[in-house]
Structure 1
Amino acid sequence: MAVPHRTIRALAVATALCGAASMPSARAAGPEVEVEAAVDALTQAILAADRAALDALVLDGLSYGHSSGAVQDKAAFVDALASRRSSFPTITLTKRSASVVGEDAIVRHVFDGETVSDGKTVPVHIGVLQVWHRDGGRWRLLARQAFKI
C-alpha cells in the first residue's frame, strides 16, 4: 500500500518541529541529522506551499537571499510561496553538507529544480548556503543565500 504524499510531508514536518533529538537513532547520529531533517521539512513545505509549516520552520529575523540578488524577510518569503505567486514543482538537493557549531548550523547544497513565477516555468541550478539556529529545541532557518554556479 502506498503512503499518501500528504502523510509523508506531515511526518517530515512533525519530525523537524518536534526535534529529531527525541528519536534514539537521530540522537546517536548527532545534531547534523536533526538539521538535515529540518532542511528536508523546509523543502517539503516549499513544494507544498504550506504556510503553517513555512512559518514554523523559519525565524522571524529571516534573511532569504536569492541568486538574483533579491533578499526577502520572513513575511515576503512565506507569502510568495503560500500565495503561489512563486512555486516550485520540483526540488532536488545534492552535494549536501551540514556542520553544527553550538546552537547554529551551516548547511550547503546544490539546488536543482523548476520555479514557476508569473506563469513562466524556469529551470533552477544554484548553490545554496543556509544558516540554521536551534530555537527552543528545534532547528529554524535564520539565513539563506543562493548563488549562481
Structure 2
Amino acid sequence: MKKISFLTVLAVMLSLNLKAQNPKAEVENAVTYLINALISGKQADLEFIASDSLSYGHSSGKIESKAQFVNSLVTNQSDFVSIDISKQHITIDGNTAIVRHQLYAKTNDRGNPGEVTLGIMLVFSKQANGEWKLLARQAYKV
C-alpha cells in the first residue's frame, strides 16, 4: 500500500512539475481565455484576465485602463462577434510573455456590424499565484 501511495504522489508531483515547465502552453491558454472573454463580454472574465495595471491600446491610438477596457466590452461599445487569430508567436522572458498575432474579427460595435483585420501585440505578466494576466495590448493596422 505504501508503494502505491508513494508512486501516486510521485506521479502527481511530476505532472505538476511538467505543467510548471511549459509556460508557452500556459500563455497560449491565457490568450484563448482572453479571446473568449472578448467575445462573451462577461465582466468577471474580463476582470480576471486583465492586470490592474492594464494599458489597452487600439489601432486608432486610443488607450484604455482596465476599467475602461472592461466597461467598453460590457456595454457593447466594443463588441466582438467572432475572433480568429493567425501567425501567433510567443516569446517568454522570465515572468513576462510577449505575444504577437494577426487578428481578424467580426464586430458589432454599438450595434454597427463590421469587420477588422489588425496586428496585435500582447504582454502578459505571470503573477505570484502562477496566473498569466494581460498587462498591455497594442493593436495596429495591417
Greater than 4 Å deviation, 4+ residue runs: 21-24
Identity %: 38
Uncovered stretches (5+) of structure 1, i.e. residues with no partner: 1-20
Q: Distance in 2 between matches of 1:96 and 1:66?
A: 19
Q: CA deviation at 1:118?
A: 2.2
Q: CA deviation at 1:122?
A: 1.5
Q: Distance in 2 between matches of 1:120 and 1:49?
A: 16
Q: Distance in 2 between matches of 1:139 and 1:118?
A: 30
Q: Does 1:122 align with 2:89?
A: no
Q: Point out the more displaced range, 116-125 or 87-96.
A: 116-125
Partner of 2:47: 55
1:59-138 alignment runs, 5 A limit:
59-136=51-128, 137-138=130-131
Structure-2 change in CA distance of 1:86 and 1:103 (3 Å): same
The TM-score with structure 2 as length reference comes to: 0.84
Residue identity in the other structure for 1:120: N
Q: Point out the more displaced range, 101-110 or 84-93.
A: 84-93
The TM-score with structure 1 as length reference comes to: 0.80
Q: Distance in 2 between matches of 1:48 and 1:118?
A: 15
Uncovered stretches (5+) of structure 2, i.e. residues with no partner: 1-14
Residue identity in the other structure for 2:133: R
Instruction: Spell out, residue by residue over 1:86-106, the C-alpha distance to the aligned partner (whole angstroms, 9 max, x if none).
Output: 211010011001111011000
Q: How many residues align?
A: 127
1:5-84 alignment runs, 5 A limit:
22=16, 24=18, 26-27=19-20, 30-84=22-76
Q: Which has the larger radius of gyration?
A: 2
What secondary structure, in the 3-state scheme, does the structure 2 residue paired with 1:40 have? helix
What secondary structure, in the 3-state scheme, does the structure 2 residue paired with 1:86 have? coil
